Amino acid sequence: MLFPTSSVGRKLVMAATGQLMVLFVILHVLGNGTIYFGWLNAYAAHLHALPPLVWSFRTGLIILFAFHIFYGIVLTLENYGAKPQSYVMRNDQSATVAGRNMIWTGAVIGSFLIYHLLHFTFQVTNPALAAAKHLDALGRPDVFTMVLKSFQNFGIASVYLLAMTALWLHLSHGIQSSFQTWGLNSEESLPLIKRAGAFAAVILFLAYIAVPIVIAMRIVK
């Protein structure tokens, strides 16, 4: 099952890895929310107090991303190869914009993740703001100030908002599609799954873009 040879097996891997990454997206935005209460530096300090645990978690995420990206590309190429052009044109009208562009929104998200890691995790893209080089009053890396000053930069905030828009589109189709892959696509359950997936995607989108917005509005400063 780790390296499935059938299309169904590959779709199941996509569904499983996608749902696990959605769980990470939820946990990550909850961590981001500590900025509203002035707890971001404490949260970051506690998170990095156990390096083996953090790096084990990161390694697991990298493996999930690798499998999801690899099989996403494989399935996309299989779909292009299996459908005659006329068939694609006839059915394209019933597909959603998000569904038709999963490979491209995924590419935007993947590119952003590389930048995001270089920016906030490894702190090499904006060294003048690096939290590791600037400590708060308690001697902790000043992650709060790094995030605050980063999102006060219009270019950085714009890149983040663009990436979150891609995430919203990706999740709006991906969440409901992953549950359909597991067979939850009856006439009764499918409309509910689609609405729930779309709703979850919107909530996560709003939760993520709230941070740069409240910083731009000087609510958090």
Segments making up each domain of the chain, as ranges: 7-216
pLDDT by residue (tens digit) across 24-81? 999 999 999 999 999 999 999 999 898 899 999 999 999 999 999 999 999 988 887 7
Angle CA(118)–CA(120)–CA(121) in degrees, nearest 5?
70
In angstroms, the CA 109 to CA 167 distance is 6
User: Is residue 25 within 8 Å of residue 168, measured between CB atoms?
Assistant: no
- CATH assignment of 7-216? 1.20.1300
**pLDDT average per 10 residues of sequence, the chain (221 residues):** 76 94 97 96 93 92 95 89 52 68 95 96 94 95 97 96 98 94 82 93 98 95 88
Which helix (H) or strand (E) segment is 23 a member of?
helix 7-32
Calculated CA dihedral for residues 157, 160, 161, 167, nearest 10 degrees:
-170
Residue pair 153/186 in contact (Cβ under 8 Å)? The answer is no
The distance in angstroms from the start CA to the end CA of the chain is: 49
